[in-house]
């Protein structure tokens, strides 16, 4: 029978204590490292990429734009302050309830500060208006100047608020349009009077088609849900853009 040399209880206790101390030191060092990395990022990385920095409509679209727009947009006071700071004017709209599931709170209508919507009657909840203003300023206009050599003077749409379920069905999930958290963007009017329509120009290999693909791709970095003709036949003539769900881009 093998004989096991008994360890002195004090030695065993010291070893356990040392292990615990080493673990604690490693944890503290890790936190210090994370803190240093966050401080370096805070000073050297542009704020549109940092989720903890405030959102601004004048910043280019970055990695954190969408998450910041969703967060800031959900706060009625912060959302409006960002719109005002960017030079947008708007009118607040009264709360609306049309039926069981159609409830609109925190809606407004953008009056100026971006290419006007056509028709102008386009109530939107603030987070949707915020995302739309960022997209117009940081994606649509730059792409229009770069690809088409001129700016967009108005954006045509098929509607924002609509009391209905998805695809107008009698049953099934409620559409984001039922809470005015969506827009169906049909096309753009350019400064020289030309038009670009999703229905007509999506498959155009020339500049108009390139422009539409660029603004769709850009919408995916701003809105939480972007649906284009690539998604399904129901979207052959418009982009559906809303601020619900998470990262649906097609």
Enumerate binding residues for Zn ion (CB under 5 A): 182, 184, 240
Q: How many helices (H) and strands (E) does the chain have?
A: 7, 12
- For the chain, the C-alpha Rg in angstroms (whole number) is 26
Between 156 and 184, CB nearer to Zn ion: 184
Find the shortest distance in angstroms from Cβ 175 to Zn ion.
Answer: 7
CA-based nearest residue to 131, from 184, 79, 174, 191: 79
CA-based nearest residue to 225, from 195, 199, 246: 246
Between 109 and 231, CB nearer to Zn ion: 231
Between 161 and 188, CB nearer to Zn ion: 161
Return the residue nearest Zn ion (CB atom). Answer: 240
Beta strand segments in the chain, E: 89-92, 96-99, 102-104, 107-112, 117-118, 124-125, 152-159, 182-190, 195-197, 225-227, 239-242, 248-249
Between 71 and 231, CB nearer to Zn ion: 231
Find the shortest distance in angstroms from Cβ 187 to Zn ion.
Answer: 15
Find the shortest distance in angstroms from Cβ 160 to Zn ion.
Answer: 9
Find the shortest distance in angstroms from Cβ 157 to Zn ion.
Answer: 9
Both tokens of residue 120?
């102008």
Find the shortest distance in angstroms from Cβ 212 to Zn ion.
Answer: 17
**Who's near 174: CB < 8 A, 6+ residues apart?**
101, 165, 166
Between 127 and 240, CB nearer to Zn ion: 240
């Amino acid at each position: 029978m093998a004989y096991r040399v008994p360890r002195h209880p004090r030695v065993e206790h010291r070893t356990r204590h040392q292990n615990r101390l080493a673990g604690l030191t490693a944890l503290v060092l890790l936190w210090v490292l994370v803190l240093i990395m966050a401080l370096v990022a805070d000073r050297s990385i542009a704020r549109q990429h940092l989720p903890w920095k405030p959102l601004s409509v004048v910043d280019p679209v970055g990695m954190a734009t969408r998450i910041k727009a969703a967060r800031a947009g959900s706060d009625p006071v912060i959302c409006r302050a960002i719109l005002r700071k960017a030079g947008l004017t708007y009118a607040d709209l009264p709360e609306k309830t049309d039926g069981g599931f159609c409830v609109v709170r925190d809606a407004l209508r953008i009056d100026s500060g971006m290419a006007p919507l056509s028709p102008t009657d386009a109530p939107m909840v603030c987070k949707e208006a915020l995302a739309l203003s960022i997209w117009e300023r940081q994606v649509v206009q730059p792409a229009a100047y770069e690809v088409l050599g001129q700016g967009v003077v108005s954006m045509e749409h098929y509607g924002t608020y609509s009391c209905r379920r998805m695809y107008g069905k009698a049953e099934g999930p409620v559409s984001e349009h039922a809470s005015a958290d969506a827009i169906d963007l049909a096309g753009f009017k350019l400064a020289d009077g030309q038009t670009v329509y999703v229905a007509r120009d999506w498959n155009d290999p020339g500049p108009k088609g390139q422009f539409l693909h660029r603004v769709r791709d850009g919408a995916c970095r701003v809105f939480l849900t972007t649906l284009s003709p690539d998604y399904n036949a129901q979207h052959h003539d418009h982009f559906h853009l809303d601020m619900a769900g998470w990262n649906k881009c097609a």
